[in-house]
Chain A
Amino acid sequence: MISSTHGGLWRVAWTIAWRGLHTYVRRPDLLVPSLVFPLVFFASFAGGLSALGSVPGFHFPAGYTAFQFVFVLCQSAMFGGLFTGFSLAFDFESGFARRLMLAAEDRRGIALGYALVALSRAAITLALITAVALATGMRITGDGIDIFGLYGLAFMLTLIGYGWAAGVAFRFRSIQAGPLMQTPVFLLLFLAPVYVPLALLKGWIHSVASINPATAFLDAGRGLISGVQEHTALAFVCALALIVLFTIWMLSGLRSAENSA
Protein backbone atom coordinates (compact mmCIF):
# COMPACT_ATOMS: atom_id res chain seq x y z
CA MET A 1 0.00 0.00 0.00
CA ILE A 2 1.08 3.53 -0.74
CA SER A 3 1.39 5.38 2.57
CA SER A 4 0.76 9.12 2.86
CA THR A 5 3.34 10.75 5.14
CA HIS A 6 4.28 14.04 3.55
CA GLY A 7 7.68 14.33 5.19
CA GLY A 8 8.43 10.72 4.31
CA LEU A 9 7.58 11.34 0.68
CA TRP A 10 10.14 14.14 0.34
CA ARG A 11 12.77 12.34 2.45
CA VAL A 12 12.63 9.36 0.10
CA ALA A 13 12.50 11.60 -2.97
CA TRP A 14 15.56 13.68 -2.00
CA THR A 15 17.58 10.59 -1.11
CA ILE A 16 16.81 8.94 -4.44
CA ALA A 17 17.42 12.18 -6.32
CA TRP A 18 20.82 12.60 -4.70
CA ARG A 19 21.81 9.00 -5.43
CA GLY A 20 20.52 9.18 -9.02
CA LEU A 21 22.30 12.41 -9.81
CA HIS A 22 25.49 11.27 -8.09
CA THR A 23 25.48 8.06 -10.16
CA TYR A 24 24.76 10.02 -13.34
CA VAL A 25 27.65 12.46 -13.01
CA ARG A 26 30.12 9.83 -11.78
CA ARG A 27 29.50 7.32 -14.58
CA PRO A 28 30.91 8.37 -17.96
CA ASP A 29 28.90 5.65 -19.75
CA LEU A 30 25.72 7.47 -18.65
CA LEU A 31 26.92 11.05 -18.73
CA VAL A 32 28.87 11.19 -21.99
CA PRO A 33 26.26 9.74 -24.41
CA SER A 34 23.51 11.89 -22.87
CA LEU A 35 25.59 15.00 -23.62
CA VAL A 36 27.18 13.95 -26.90
CA PHE A 37 24.03 12.70 -28.62
CA PRO A 38 22.08 15.97 -28.52
CA LEU A 39 25.19 17.81 -29.72
CA VAL A 40 25.54 15.42 -32.65
CA PHE A 41 21.86 15.91 -33.50
CA PHE A 42 22.30 19.66 -33.28
CA ALA A 43 25.44 19.61 -35.42
CA SER A 44 23.87 17.32 -37.95
CA PHE A 45 20.55 19.10 -38.26
CA ALA A 46 21.54 22.73 -37.81
CA GLY A 47 24.86 22.36 -39.64
CA GLY A 48 24.07 19.70 -42.21
CA LEU A 49 20.65 20.92 -43.21
CA SER A 50 21.21 24.67 -43.11
CA ALA A 51 20.49 24.84 -46.86
CA LEU A 52 16.85 24.09 -46.03
CA GLY A 53 16.61 27.65 -44.73
CA SER A 54 16.65 28.68 -48.42
CA VAL A 55 13.73 26.45 -49.46
CA PRO A 56 10.94 28.55 -51.01
CA GLY A 57 8.29 29.26 -48.35
CA PHE A 58 10.65 28.86 -45.38
CA HIS A 59 10.56 32.01 -43.24
CA PHE A 60 11.90 31.87 -39.70
CA PRO A 61 13.06 35.17 -38.21
CA ALA A 62 15.74 33.68 -35.94
CA GLY A 63 17.33 31.54 -38.69
CA TYR A 64 17.68 27.81 -39.34
CA THR A 65 20.05 27.18 -36.41
CA ALA A 66 17.44 28.45 -33.92
CA PHE A 67 14.74 26.52 -35.79
CA GLN A 68 16.63 23.24 -35.27
CA PHE A 69 17.82 24.19 -31.79
CA VAL A 70 14.23 24.07 -30.55
CA PHE A 71 13.79 20.54 -31.90
CA VAL A 72 17.01 19.35 -30.26
CA LEU A 73 16.02 21.11 -27.01
CA CYS A 74 12.62 19.38 -26.94
CA GLN A 75 14.13 16.04 -27.90
CA SER A 76 16.85 16.25 -25.25
CA ALA A 77 14.31 17.27 -22.64
CA MET A 78 12.07 14.30 -23.41
CA PHE A 79 14.99 11.88 -23.63
CA GLY A 80 16.30 13.13 -20.28
CA GLY A 81 13.06 11.82 -18.79
CA LEU A 82 13.16 8.68 -20.86
CA PHE A 83 16.69 7.70 -19.86
CA THR A 84 15.78 8.14 -16.21
CA GLY A 85 13.08 5.55 -16.86
CA PHE A 86 15.87 3.30 -18.16
CA SER A 87 17.78 3.81 -14.89
CA LEU A 88 14.65 2.89 -12.91
CA ALA A 89 14.20 -0.28 -15.00
CA PHE A 90 17.87 -1.13 -14.49
CA ASP A 91 17.49 -0.62 -10.72
CA PHE A 92 14.58 -3.06 -10.74
CA GLU A 93 16.58 -5.59 -12.73
CA SER A 94 19.52 -5.37 -10.34
CA GLY A 95 17.19 -5.79 -7.35
CA PHE A 96 18.00 -2.35 -5.94
CA ALA A 97 14.53 -0.91 -6.57
CA ARG A 98 12.86 -3.86 -4.87
CA ARG A 99 14.95 -3.28 -1.75
CA LEU A 100 14.09 0.39 -2.05
CA MET A 101 10.40 -0.43 -2.10
CA LEU A 102 10.80 -2.41 1.13
CA ALA A 103 12.66 0.42 2.82
CA ALA A 104 10.77 3.53 1.61
CA GLU A 105 8.42 5.23 4.10
CA ASP A 106 6.29 6.49 1.23
CA ARG A 107 6.76 4.72 -2.09
CA ARG A 108 5.47 7.64 -4.11
CA GLY A 109 8.75 9.22 -3.03
CA ILE A 110 10.51 6.72 -5.31
CA ALA A 111 8.59 8.02 -8.33
CA LEU A 112 9.13 11.62 -7.23
CA GLY A 113 12.84 11.05 -6.58
CA TYR A 114 13.46 9.70 -10.08
CA ALA A 115 11.43 12.64 -11.47
CA LEU A 116 13.90 15.00 -9.74
CA VAL A 117 16.76 13.02 -11.28
CA ALA A 118 15.14 13.42 -14.71
CA LEU A 119 14.80 17.17 -14.26
CA SER A 120 18.42 17.51 -13.07
CA ARG A 121 19.74 15.42 -15.96
CA ALA A 122 17.72 17.48 -18.42
CA ALA A 123 18.99 20.72 -16.85
CA ILE A 124 22.62 19.65 -17.41
CA THR A 125 21.99 18.63 -21.02
CA LEU A 126 19.90 21.70 -21.87
CA ALA A 127 22.52 24.03 -20.39
CA LEU A 128 25.25 22.43 -22.50
CA ILE A 129 23.26 22.53 -25.76
CA THR A 130 22.29 26.13 -25.14
CA ALA A 131 25.90 27.10 -24.47
CA VAL A 132 27.10 25.36 -27.64
CA ALA A 133 24.27 26.85 -29.73
CA LEU A 134 25.04 30.37 -28.50
CA ALA A 135 28.76 29.86 -29.01
CA THR A 136 28.12 28.82 -32.61
CA GLY A 137 26.18 32.00 -33.29
CA MET A 138 22.54 31.07 -32.76
CA ARG A 139 20.27 34.12 -32.82
CA ILE A 140 17.47 34.55 -30.27
CA THR A 141 14.89 37.15 -31.23
CA GLY A 142 12.41 36.42 -28.41
CA ASP A 143 12.55 38.35 -25.11
CA GLY A 144 13.43 37.11 -21.62
CA ILE A 145 9.89 35.99 -20.78
CA ASP A 146 9.70 34.03 -24.04
CA ILE A 147 12.92 32.22 -23.21
CA PHE A 148 11.70 31.47 -19.68
CA GLY A 149 8.59 29.98 -21.32
CA LEU A 150 10.73 27.93 -23.73
CA TYR A 151 12.72 26.29 -20.92
CA GLY A 152 9.54 25.86 -18.85
CA LEU A 153 8.04 23.96 -21.75
CA ALA A 154 11.22 21.89 -22.11
CA PHE A 155 11.08 20.81 -18.45
CA MET A 156 7.42 19.89 -18.87
CA LEU A 157 8.48 17.64 -21.76
CA THR A 158 11.05 16.02 -19.45
CA LEU A 159 8.23 15.15 -17.05
CA ILE A 160 6.13 13.73 -19.91
CA GLY A 161 9.01 11.53 -21.12
CA TYR A 162 9.76 10.44 -17.56
CA GLY A 163 6.10 9.73 -16.71
CA TRP A 164 5.71 7.47 -19.73
CA ALA A 165 9.03 5.64 -19.24
CA ALA A 166 8.59 5.25 -15.46
CA GLY A 167 5.10 3.79 -15.98
CA VAL A 168 6.61 1.20 -18.34
CA ALA A 169 9.56 0.55 -15.99
CA PHE A 170 7.27 -0.03 -12.97
CA ARG A 171 5.16 -2.47 -14.97
CA PHE A 172 7.91 -4.48 -16.71
CA ARG A 173 10.70 -4.00 -14.13
CA SER A 174 13.28 -4.93 -16.78
CA ILE A 175 15.60 -3.07 -19.12
CA GLN A 176 14.22 -5.35 -21.86
CA ALA A 177 11.29 -2.92 -21.99
CA GLY A 178 13.68 -0.20 -23.24
CA PRO A 179 12.40 -0.26 -26.85
CA LEU A 180 8.84 0.08 -25.54
CA MET A 181 9.83 3.25 -23.68
CA GLN A 182 11.88 4.71 -26.50
CA THR A 183 10.02 3.91 -29.71
CA PRO A 184 6.74 5.80 -29.10
CA VAL A 185 8.63 8.93 -27.98
CA PHE A 186 10.95 8.69 -30.95
CA LEU A 187 7.97 8.36 -33.32
CA LEU A 188 6.07 11.18 -31.61
CA LEU A 189 9.01 13.53 -32.09
CA PHE A 190 9.93 12.58 -35.64
CA LEU A 191 6.35 12.60 -36.92
CA ALA A 192 6.29 16.36 -36.29
CA PRO A 193 7.72 19.21 -38.41
CA VAL A 194 11.36 18.46 -37.57
CA TYR A 195 13.18 19.87 -40.60
CA VAL A 196 10.76 22.41 -42.09
CA PRO A 197 7.57 24.11 -40.83
CA LEU A 198 4.24 22.27 -41.03
CA ALA A 199 3.14 24.29 -44.05
CA LEU A 200 6.01 22.84 -46.11
CA LEU A 201 5.24 19.21 -45.24
CA LYS A 202 3.27 17.37 -47.90
CA GLY A 203 1.30 14.12 -47.97
CA TRP A 204 0.74 11.70 -45.09
CA ILE A 205 3.33 13.31 -42.83
CA HIS A 206 1.40 16.60 -42.99
CA SER A 207 -1.81 14.84 -41.87
CA VAL A 208 -0.02 13.02 -39.03
CA ALA A 209 1.94 16.10 -37.92
CA SER A 210 -1.26 18.19 -37.87
CA ILE A 211 -2.73 16.07 -35.06
CA ASN A 212 0.55 15.26 -33.29
CA PRO A 213 0.93 17.13 -29.96
CA ALA A 214 4.69 17.35 -30.62
CA THR A 215 3.86 19.76 -33.45
CA ALA A 216 2.31 22.13 -30.92
CA PHE A 217 5.41 21.82 -28.69
CA LEU A 218 7.77 22.57 -31.59
CA ASP A 219 5.62 25.41 -32.95
CA ALA A 220 5.38 26.95 -29.49
CA GLY A 221 9.10 26.53 -28.83
CA ARG A 222 10.04 28.06 -32.19
CA GLY A 223 7.54 30.86 -31.59
CA LEU A 224 9.07 31.57 -28.19
CA ILE A 225 12.67 31.63 -29.40
CA SER A 226 11.79 33.92 -32.31
CA GLY A 227 9.34 36.12 -30.40
CA VAL A 228 6.56 35.40 -32.93
CA GLN A 229 4.34 33.23 -30.78
CA GLU A 230 2.40 30.37 -32.30
CA HIS A 231 0.29 27.72 -30.51
CA THR A 232 1.92 28.65 -27.16
CA ALA A 233 -1.21 28.26 -25.04
CA LEU A 234 -2.14 25.03 -26.86
CA ALA A 235 1.32 23.58 -26.21
CA PHE A 236 1.23 24.35 -22.48
CA VAL A 237 -2.30 22.93 -22.11
CA CYS A 238 -1.28 19.77 -24.04
CA ALA A 239 1.86 19.40 -21.94
CA LEU A 240 -0.05 19.83 -18.69
CA ALA A 241 -2.70 17.31 -19.77
CA LEU A 242 -0.01 14.79 -20.74
CA ILE A 243 1.80 15.27 -17.41
CA VAL A 244 -1.45 14.53 -15.52
CA LEU A 245 -2.17 11.52 -17.74
CA PHE A 246 1.32 10.05 -17.38
CA THR A 247 1.42 10.72 -13.64
CA ILE A 248 -1.68 8.52 -13.32
CA TRP A 249 -0.02 5.96 -15.62
CA MET A 250 3.16 6.03 -13.50
CA LEU A 251 1.39 5.78 -10.13
CA SER A 252 -0.76 2.89 -11.33
CA GLY A 253 2.49 1.27 -12.48
CA LEU A 254 3.95 1.82 -9.02
CA ARG A 255 0.90 0.07 -7.57
CA SER A 256 1.44 -2.81 -9.98
CA ALA A 257 5.08 -3.07 -8.85
CA GLU A 258 3.94 -3.07 -5.20
CA ASN A 259 1.44 -5.84 -5.86
CA SER A 260 4.02 -8.00 -7.60
CA ALA A 261 6.56 -7.59 -4.78
Chain B
Amino acid sequence: MDEVKLNKGDNIVELAEVSLAGTAGKKVFDRLNFSLSYGKSAVIEGTTGAGKTSFVELVIGSKRPDSGTIYVFGKNIGDRGGQNLKNIRRRTGGVGGIFQPIAYQTIFENLSYPLILRGDGPGARRSRVFEVLGQLNLLNKKNEKAISLSRGEEILLMLGRAIVADQPLLLIDEPLSGLDSDMARVVMDKLKRLAVAGHSLIILTSGQTGVELPGADQYSISGGKLE
Protein backbone atom coordinates (compact mmCIF):
# COMPACT_ATOMS: atom_id res chain seq x y z
CA MET B 1 0.00 0.00 0.00
CA ASP B 2 1.19 3.48 -0.86
CA GLU B 3 1.50 5.03 2.60
CA VAL B 4 2.60 8.31 4.08
CA LYS B 5 4.46 7.85 7.37
CA LEU B 6 2.89 10.07 10.00
CA ASN B 7 4.64 11.27 13.13
CA LYS B 8 3.17 12.67 16.32
CA GLY B 9 2.00 16.18 15.54
CA ASP B 10 1.28 15.49 11.86
CA ASN B 11 -2.35 15.85 10.88
CA ILE B 12 -4.13 12.55 10.35
CA VAL B 13 -7.27 14.37 9.17
CA GLU B 14 -7.39 17.87 7.75
CA LEU B 15 -10.38 19.66 6.24
CA ALA B 16 -9.66 23.10 4.78
CA GLU B 17 -12.40 25.53 3.73
CA VAL B 18 -14.81 22.69 3.06
CA SER B 19 -18.30 23.58 1.90
CA LEU B 20 -21.08 21.12 1.27
CA ALA B 21 -24.64 21.76 0.14
CA GLY B 22 -27.40 19.51 1.36
CA THR B 23 -30.85 19.00 -0.06
CA ALA B 24 -32.77 22.05 -1.32
CA GLY B 25 -29.55 24.05 -1.46
CA LYS B 26 -29.21 24.31 2.31
CA LYS B 27 -25.56 24.47 3.32
CA VAL B 28 -24.47 21.61 5.56
CA PHE B 29 -20.95 23.01 5.88
CA ASP B 30 -19.76 26.49 5.06
CA ARG B 31 -15.97 26.83 4.76
CA LEU B 32 -15.40 24.30 7.50
CA ASN B 33 -11.90 23.84 8.90
CA PHE B 34 -10.85 20.92 11.04
CA SER B 35 -7.63 19.16 11.81
CA LEU B 36 -6.68 16.27 14.04
CA SER B 37 -3.13 15.31 14.94
CA TYR B 38 -1.93 11.74 14.61
CA GLY B 39 -2.54 9.89 17.88
CA LYS B 40 -4.99 12.51 19.15
CA SER B 41 -8.77 12.13 19.40
CA ALA B 42 -11.75 14.45 19.04
CA VAL B 43 -15.34 14.46 20.20
CA ILE B 44 -17.73 16.39 17.98
CA GLU B 45 -21.12 17.20 19.41
CA GLY B 46 -24.10 18.33 17.40
CA THR B 47 -27.84 18.07 17.24
CA THR B 48 -29.68 15.83 14.81
CA GLY B 49 -29.25 17.23 11.30
CA ALA B 50 -26.22 19.32 12.26
CA GLY B 51 -24.04 17.38 9.82
CA LYS B 52 -22.30 14.75 11.95
CA THR B 53 -22.89 11.90 9.51
CA SER B 54 -22.02 14.17 6.57
CA PHE B 55 -18.73 14.91 8.32
CA VAL B 56 -17.99 11.16 8.48
CA GLU B 57 -19.03 10.74 4.84
CA LEU B 58 -16.64 13.50 3.78
CA VAL B 59 -13.71 12.02 5.69
CA ILE B 60 -14.36 8.53 4.30
CA GLY B 61 -14.93 9.91 0.79
CA SER B 62 -18.48 8.73 0.21
CA LYS B 63 -19.43 12.39 -0.23
CA ARG B 64 -17.41 14.92 -2.17
CA PRO B 65 -17.27 18.55 -0.96
CA ASP B 66 -18.50 21.33 -3.22
CA SER B 67 -15.31 23.20 -2.44
CA GLY B 68 -12.29 22.89 -0.20
CA THR B 69 -9.80 20.09 0.32
CA ILE B 70 -9.73 17.02 2.54
CA TYR B 71 -6.50 15.32 3.49
CA VAL B 72 -6.49 12.03 5.37
CA PHE B 73 -3.20 10.38 6.28
CA GLY B 74 -1.55 13.28 4.47
CA LYS B 75 -3.24 12.45 1.17
CA ASN B 76 -5.85 14.33 -0.77
CA ILE B 77 -8.77 11.91 -0.97
CA GLY B 78 -9.81 13.18 -4.41
CA ASP B 79 -6.43 12.55 -6.06
CA ARG B 80 -5.17 9.60 -8.12
CA GLY B 81 -8.53 8.45 -9.45
CA GLY B 82 -9.73 6.73 -6.30
CA GLN B 83 -6.46 5.00 -5.42
CA ASN B 84 -5.85 7.35 -2.46
CA LEU B 85 -9.40 6.87 -1.30
CA LYS B 86 -9.06 3.09 -1.36
CA ASN B 87 -5.86 3.25 0.69
CA ILE B 88 -7.37 5.72 3.15
CA ARG B 89 -10.45 3.54 3.67
CA ARG B 90 -8.33 0.47 4.39
CA ARG B 91 -6.63 2.37 7.21
CA THR B 92 -9.83 3.87 8.61
CA GLY B 93 -12.26 2.00 10.81
CA GLY B 94 -15.86 2.99 11.32
CA VAL B 95 -18.55 2.37 13.90
CA GLY B 96 -22.22 3.32 13.65
CA GLY B 97 -23.90 5.66 11.18
CA ILE B 98 -22.96 4.54 7.68
CA PHE B 99 -20.76 1.76 9.11
CA GLN B 100 -22.93 -1.25 9.80
CA PRO B 101 -22.34 -5.00 10.14
CA ILE B 102 -23.28 -7.13 7.15
CA ALA B 103 -26.48 -8.62 8.48
CA TYR B 104 -26.48 -12.08 6.89
CA GLN B 105 -22.78 -12.76 7.39
CA THR B 106 -21.34 -14.37 10.50
CA ILE B 107 -19.37 -12.36 13.01
CA PHE B 108 -16.25 -14.17 11.87
CA GLU B 109 -16.90 -13.21 8.23
CA ASN B 110 -17.63 -9.60 9.19
CA LEU B 111 -14.33 -9.32 11.02
CA SER B 112 -12.31 -11.12 8.36
CA TYR B 113 -12.95 -8.73 5.49
CA PRO B 114 -10.42 -5.97 6.33
CA LEU B 115 -7.80 -8.74 6.64
CA ILE B 116 -8.79 -10.24 3.28
CA LEU B 117 -8.30 -6.81 1.70
CA ARG B 118 -4.92 -6.58 3.40
CA GLY B 119 -3.99 -9.89 1.76
CA ASP B 120 -3.65 -11.97 4.93
CA GLY B 121 -3.81 -15.73 4.43
CA PRO B 122 -6.55 -17.89 6.03
CA GLY B 123 -4.38 -18.91 9.01
CA ALA B 124 -3.31 -15.33 9.83
CA ARG B 125 -6.89 -14.13 9.44
CA ARG B 126 -8.22 -16.79 11.73
CA SER B 127 -5.76 -16.13 14.54
CA ARG B 128 -6.18 -12.33 14.34
CA VAL B 129 -9.99 -12.53 14.26
CA PHE B 130 -10.00 -14.91 17.22
CA GLU B 131 -7.70 -12.54 19.12
CA VAL B 132 -10.06 -9.59 18.55
CA LEU B 133 -13.14 -11.68 19.33
CA GLY B 134 -11.49 -12.63 22.62
CA GLN B 135 -10.86 -8.97 23.48
CA LEU B 136 -14.52 -8.15 22.77
CA ASN B 137 -15.93 -11.20 24.59
CA LEU B 138 -17.62 -12.36 21.38
CA LEU B 139 -15.66 -15.57 20.80
CA ASN B 140 -18.65 -17.78 21.64
CA LYS B 141 -20.72 -16.01 18.96
CA LYS B 142 -18.23 -16.19 16.13
CA ASN B 143 -20.52 -18.30 13.91
CA GLU B 144 -23.69 -16.33 14.58
CA LYS B 145 -25.11 -14.06 11.92
CA ALA B 146 -24.74 -10.38 12.64
CA ILE B 147 -28.48 -9.92 12.32
CA SER B 148 -28.99 -11.93 15.52
CA LEU B 149 -26.84 -9.60 17.65
CA SER B 150 -28.08 -7.11 20.21
CA ARG B 151 -27.38 -3.42 19.64
CA GLY B 152 -24.49 -3.52 22.11
CA GLU B 153 -22.94 -6.57 20.47
CA GLU B 154 -23.35 -4.88 17.10
CA ILE B 155 -21.33 -1.88 18.35
CA LEU B 156 -18.67 -4.23 19.70
CA LEU B 157 -18.57 -6.07 16.37
CA MET B 158 -18.12 -2.77 14.53
CA LEU B 159 -15.37 -1.81 16.94
CA GLY B 160 -13.74 -5.16 16.22
CA ARG B 161 -13.96 -4.60 12.48
CA ALA B 162 -12.52 -1.13 12.94
CA ILE B 163 -9.42 -2.38 14.74
CA VAL B 164 -8.86 -5.87 13.37
CA ALA B 165 -6.44 -4.63 10.72
CA ASP B 166 -4.82 -2.10 13.10
CA GLN B 167 -6.52 0.87 11.47
CA PRO B 168 -5.00 4.02 13.04
CA LEU B 169 -8.07 6.22 12.45
CA LEU B 170 -11.54 5.41 13.79
CA LEU B 171 -14.73 7.29 12.90
CA ILE B 172 -17.39 6.63 15.51
CA ASP B 173 -20.91 7.92 14.92
CA GLU B 174 -23.26 7.91 17.92
CA PRO B 175 -21.51 5.06 19.78
CA LEU B 176 -23.90 4.91 22.71
CA SER B 177 -27.15 5.27 20.82
CA GLY B 178 -29.61 2.60 21.92
CA LEU B 179 -27.33 1.12 24.59
CA ASP B 180 -28.19 0.51 28.22
CA SER B 181 -25.89 2.06 30.81
CA ASP B 182 -23.88 -1.13 31.39
CA MET B 183 -23.19 -1.69 27.71
CA ALA B 184 -22.49 2.06 27.26
CA ARG B 185 -19.83 1.77 29.98
CA VAL B 186 -18.28 -1.29 28.25
CA VAL B 187 -18.18 0.50 24.88
CA MET B 188 -16.71 3.70 26.34
CA ASP B 189 -14.10 1.63 28.16
CA LYS B 190 -13.05 0.01 24.87
CA LEU B 191 -12.91 3.41 23.16
CA LYS B 192 -10.71 4.86 25.91
CA ARG B 193 -8.36 1.90 25.64
CA LEU B 194 -8.07 2.45 21.90
CA ALA B 195 -7.32 6.14 22.41
CA VAL B 196 -4.67 5.33 24.98
CA ALA B 197 -3.17 2.75 22.60
CA GLY B 198 -2.56 5.57 20.09
CA HIS B 199 -5.52 5.26 17.73
CA SER B 200 -7.01 8.54 16.55
CA LEU B 201 -10.71 8.55 17.32
CA ILE B 202 -13.27 10.99 16.00
CA ILE B 203 -16.44 10.47 18.00
CA LEU B 204 -19.61 12.16 16.83
CA THR B 205 -22.42 12.44 19.32
CA SER B 206 -25.68 14.26 19.74
CA GLY B 207 -24.85 14.92 23.35
CA GLN B 208 -25.42 11.56 25.00
CA THR B 209 -24.15 11.45 28.52
CA GLY B 210 -21.08 9.36 29.06
CA VAL B 211 -19.32 10.17 25.80
CA GLU B 212 -16.16 11.52 27.35
CA LEU B 213 -12.67 10.81 26.18
CA PRO B 214 -9.84 12.13 28.36
CA GLY B 215 -7.44 14.30 26.40
CA ALA B 216 -9.70 14.52 23.36
CA ASP B 217 -10.35 17.83 21.58
CA GLN B 218 -13.95 18.92 22.04
CA TYR B 219 -15.92 20.46 19.19
CA SER B 220 -19.44 21.56 18.64
CA ILE B 221 -21.00 21.47 15.18
CA SER B 222 -23.83 23.82 14.26
CA GLY B 223 -24.80 26.12 11.44
CA GLY B 224 -22.29 24.52 9.13
CA LYS B 225 -19.32 25.44 11.36
CA LEU B 226 -17.15 23.64 13.87
CA GLU B 227 -16.24 25.45 17.04
Partners in one complex: no
Q: Which residues of A contact B (CB under 8 A)?
A: none
